[in-house]
Chain A
Amino acid sequence: MSQAKQVNLKKLKPYGDIMDDGTVQIAFTLPVEPSPEAREAAVQFAQQMGFQNVKIATMDKAGNGFAFFVIYGNTNFTIDFTQIEVLKVDAKKRSRDEIDEIIKTKIGRKLIILGACTGYDAHTVGIDAIMNMKGFAGDYGLERYQWLDARNLGAQVLNEDLLDMAVKENADAILVSKVVTQHEIHIKDFKDLIERAKKRGLRDKLIFVAGGPRVTHPLSVECGFDAGFGVGTKPSDVASYIVEEFIRRKQNQKK
């Protein structure tokens, strides 16, 4: 009886139904009518992308002068998984009760958190999921935490107003959610907030957290934030980070 082949982390490949088959599925549109020539062009594209055994599963007319393709191919590229390093949010995942307990015992006062959807962005779905009482996917929002004073400022908050508010309310952390990303508007707005905070001497007094469907932690750090959270983030992920970062800073101050 032969055993199934085990994964080789030094030479990682996509998995279809057999280890190391390298199966990949891709879909795209070519701005030409479906035709045998269009099909061949699609095959050649896939080959140039490094795929072998290219199979055109679908070629369909998606409008006059547009051919849509679904393609399968096998890749020979491999990745050394053991050498991969990723910048990650540095915090242990904790539950709401644990977080409340830590704040109560180690900080002794409520942490003040302001959340907003900034600039012209009116899509509050993300900030609402993190802040509002109800939360997201069974994970209660920050408003529900006994030891957090979390306030959702809603949509279209200007960066300068957000900082004014942070000063007025003595905030400990700012959460910014951006959904609209056309022309990289989210990145411009993130950077603008940090620039303004620096000018006002607020950069290191506050914990800056970014969020949104197209936001990643490395992108946020690049924009000058302390951390960033993307799709699928739960309120307790964000709270875990803020509490840990707050305590970390306090300890650094003592040193």
Chain B
Amino acid sequence: MANLNLDQKKIDECRKIAHTVSKPVEELIEKHTSVSIERAALRLLGVNGAIQQQGGQWFPEVNLIVEDLHKQKVLDRGVLYWFCNALLYTKISPQELGTSVAHRKIKLTELPKSKDEDIEAKAKELVKEAVEHIDERRDYRDSLRKKQSDRFKSHGMERPLLYVIVATGNIYDDVIQARAAAQAGAEAIAVIRSTAQSLLDFVPHGATTEGYGGTYATQENFRIMREALDDEGGKIGRYIRLTNYCSGLCMSEIAALGAMERLDFLLNDAMYGILFRDINMKRTLIDQHFSRRIIAKSKIVIHTGEDNYLTTADAVENGHQVLASQFINERFALGAKMTPSLMGLGHAQEMDPEHPDVFLLEIARAQMTRQIFPEHPIKFMPPTRFKCGDIFYSHLMDAMFNFVGVLTGQSIQLLGMATEAMHTPLLQDRWMSIKNANYIFNGAKSLGDEILFKPKGRIESWAQKVLDETLAHLRMIEKKGLFKAIEDRAFANVTRKEDGGKGLDGVIEKSKDYLNPFFEYL
């Protein structure tokens, strides 16, 4: 593979600074839990029911249970303390207890208390079982991959994985679109989430047929789509990966549901929620850590959202923001026990198509990302910002994006749509984009092995320049601290305040006797 000459000392220095930057945040994470983490713990024990509200909406039991404890200001001991105490007293199953508490038939704080060590032993027993269940689901998924054949390699040397989205709003229509995409050659399918689901502080329940700009992420929708892809993959002899969105206020819970329903990829990035959804930074970084512990256990590949920075900040000028954020994201993932092979760091081809030598700059960025993160399944996102409805020109932009992707050995290629900026993809749009990618990935498969980059040429110089800027950017962030740096628009030209945004009221300082054995067993 062709290589750019990049100063390894500078790369090491970037990693060192990212580590320093992450430390105070990790201390904060250590001391806190959130309503979402507590709900996720219950979900992993099997409490996944819901209660129908007036108006027909379903509301999860875990929300009713955790909300009640939060109101009584006793969540600092952890929901598992109260829940396992009640299990010892009532001797019923977690599911039964969950339903009874949600219906207010049992009040967790009013029951006689068992000894702390007995409660802890009960919690450990259940958590151990829950983690074994995660292991089983992961192993079953991995055996299915072997059985149906799977050519995915995290370092992406062969050719990028063909990845497309479906977004009808109706899970059953999504299934039709996803099957057709798989038949046309897609290897991974994302079910785009309904706009603003990330701002809901609960996970909707059951199969859903209406959404805005996408389909609600629910456990049942995960199951329906996974079942369809298992079936389709069996028919065509190729394992089809399923992606969903593990960001927003229910990050930890979505990770739990993803682990149980055998998801393959999760978009998981606190920075995305902070910058683009105005979610409070403490809340989402605390949630992110727990979600990544579950993800690490499930060996789900995460996708980070740095590609989005380039939709609000100029892509030619701000490559260093993406790279700096990737170093920080990598550090947080390592802190949650994830291996590099699970870190799908995101970036995008979003430069102005009329910029002189734009492909040289894009190749420089893609190639340096590949080299700096050699074991990581890099996720490469298509042009969106400069697409405008001329579908023929858009199709051409996607072709050049595919060319850069295969040339530089990207791992996961989200295929661009000719109708980007017009509507959610039609069946034929997806088919056309897969045909485009297959043509280019096949035709230029070995090109990366055949070429050399001219030493000190434009491509190499651009990469070196971005690396230098990244180092300077990280030094600035180190000096200010991550939170202050975000406030000062270090990423995506967006400003957010440490105590602003949504969800801060769901953050709780852990008491000394906080109980949550998942932190030990995951």
List A residues at the B interface (Cβ < 8 Å). Answer: 27-29, 60, 62-64, 66, 68, 120-122, 124-125, 128, 132, 134, 154-156, 180-183, 185, 213, 231-232
Given contacts A66-B180, A156-B278, A182-B213, contact A125 B195 (CB under 8 A): no
A155→B312 CA distance, assembly (Å): 11
Q: A63-B180, A125-B311, A154-B494 are in contact. Are A180 and B212 (CB under 8 A)?
A: yes
CB-defined contacts of B181 to chain A, threshold 8 Å: 63
Check B212 against A231 for contact (C-beta < 8 Å). Answer: no
B514 within 8 A of A: no
CA–CA, A155 to B308, complex, Å?
Answer: 14
| A29-B428, A156-B196 as given contacts; A122 in contact with B276, CB under 8 Å | yes
Residues of A within 8 A of B213 (CB): 180, 182
B180 and A183 form a contact (CB under 8 A): no
B503 → A minimal CB distance (Å):
14
Q: Which residues of A contact B179 (CB under 8 A)?
A: 63-64
List residues of chain A with CB within 8 A of the CB of B196: 120, 122, 156
Report whether A66 and B276 are in contact in the complex, using a CB–CB cutoff of 8 Å. no
Tell me the residues in window 355-410 of chain B with beta carbons closer than 8 Å to chain A beta carbons: 384-385, 388-389
- Measured CA separation A157–B107 after assembly (Å): 39
Contacts of B195 in A (CB 8 A): 120-122, 180, 182
Asked if residues B427 and A122 are in contact (CB atoms below 8 Å), the reply is no
Question: Could you tell me the distance between the alpha carbons of A152 and B498 in the complex, rounded to whole angstroms?
Answer: 20
Q: A62-B431, A68-B431, A213-B421 are in contact. Are A155 and B278 (CB under 8 A)?
A: yes
User: B469: CB under 8 A from chain A?
Assistant: no
Bitwise interface map of B from 292 to 324 toward A, beta carbon under 8 Å scored 1, else 0: 000000000000000000011010000000000
Which parts of B172-204 form the interface with A (CB within 8 Å)? 179-181, 183-184, 195-196, 199
Whether B428 pairs with A62 at a CB distance below 8 angstroms is: yes
Tell me the complex Cα distance, A27–B426, Å.
12
Asked if B427 and A66 make an inter-chain contact with CB atoms under 8 angstroms apart, the answer reads yes
Contact pick for A62, options B277, B423, B427, CB 8 Å: B427
Contact of B212 among A60, A120, A132, A232 (CB under 8 A): A120
Chain B residue, CB-CB nearest to A133? B493
Query: Which B residue's beta carbon lies closest to that of A120?
Result: B196
**A29-B278 contact, Cβ under 8 Å, with A134-B314, A180-B195, A213-B389:** no
Smallest CB gap from B384: residue in A: A125
By a beta-carbon cutoff of 8 Å, the part of chain B in contact with chain A is: 169, 179-181, 183-184, 195-196, 199, 210-213, 276-278, 311-312, 314, 384-385, 388-389, 421-424, 426-428, 431-432, 493-494
Q: Are B388 and A63 in contact (CB under 8 A)?
A: no
- Asked whether A28 lies within 8 Å of B428 as measured between CB atoms, the reply is yes
A96 to chain B, nearest CB (A): 19
Q: In the bound complex, how far is the Cα of B210 from the Cα of A57, in angstroms?
A: 36
State whether B388 touches A183 (Cβ < 8 A). no
A68 nearest in chain B by CB position: B428
- Check A62 against B184 for contact (C-beta < 8 Å): yes
Residues of B within 8 A of A232 (CB): 388
Kindly state the separation between the CA atoms of A249 and B8 in the bound complex, as whole angstroms: 63
B352 to chain A, nearest CB (A): 9
10 contacts between A and B (CB under 8 A): A27-B428, A29-B428, A63-B179, A66-B180, A68-B428, A125-B311, A134-B314, A155-B277, A155-B278, A231-B421
Cα distance A124–B276 when bound, in Å? 9
- Which A residues are CB-close (under 8 A) to B423? 181
Q: Which residues on B sit within 8 Å (CB–CB) of A28?
A: 428
- The interface residues of chain B lying within 8 Å CB-to-CB of A128 are 312
Closest Cβ of chain B: how far from A138's Cβ, in Å? 9
Chain A residues lying within 8 Å of B184, measured Cβ to Cβ, are 62-63
Chain B residues in 8 Å Cβ range of A185: 212
> A231 and B276 in contact (CB under 8 A), knowing A29-B426, A63-B181, A134-B314?
no
A63 touches B427 (CB 8 A): yes
User: CA of A124 to CA of B493 in the docked complex: distance in angstroms?
Assistant: 12
A64 to B176, CA, bound (A): 10
List of A residues within 8 angstroms of B422 by Cβ: 213
**Complex-state Cα separation, A68 to B427, whole angstroms:** 9
CB neighbours of A154 from chain B (8 A): 278, 494
| Residues from chain B with Cβ under 8 Å of A181 in the complex | 423
Interchain CA distance A231-B210 in the complex, whole Å? 28
Once the chains are docked, how many angstroms separate the CA of A180 from the CA of B181? 23
Chain B residues within an 8 Å CB radius of A180: 195, 212-213
Q: Which residues of A contact B210 (CB under 8 A)?
A: 183
> Separation in Å of the B317 CB from the closest CB of chain A?
9
- Return chain A residues, CB-CB under 8 Å to B199: 120, 156
CB distance from B25 to the nearest CB of A (A): 24
Beyond A62-B431, A68-B432, A124-B312, 7 additional contacts (C-beta under 8 Å) are: A29-B427, A63-B427, A68-B428, A68-B431, A155-B278, A156-B278, A180-B212
Indicate if the CB atoms of A183 and B431 lie closer than 8 Å. Answer: no
C-alpha spacing A132/B312, complex, angstroms: 9
Q: State whether B389 touches A231 (Cβ < 8 A).
A: yes
The chain A residue with its CB closest to the CB of B180 is A63
Known: A122-B195, A125-B385. A62 touches B180 (CB 8 A): yes
**Most chain B C-beta atoms within 10 Å of own C-beta, residue among A29, A62, A132, A155:** A62
B282 to chain A, nearest CB (A): 20
Instruction: For the complex formed, measure the closest distance between the CB of B353 and the CB atoms of chain A, giving whole angstroms.
Output: 11
Residues of A within 8 A of B427 (CB): 29, 62-63, 66
6 closest cross-chain pairs (CB), A and B:
A63-B180, A120-B196, A62-B431, A29-B428, A63-B183, A180-B213
Q: In the complex, what distance in Å separates the CA atom of A238 from the CA atom of B181?
A: 41
A68 to B183, CA, bound (A): 14
CA distance A219 to B431 in the complex (A): 32
**A160 CA to B268 CA in the complex, in Å?**
32
List chain A residues, Cβ under 8 A from B278.
154-156
Q: How far is the CA of A239 from the CA of B494 in the complex (A)?
A: 24
CA distance A128 to B169 in the complex (A): 27
- A182 and B199 CA atoms in complex are apart in Å by 18
**Alpha-carbon gap, A66 to B426, bound state (A):** 12
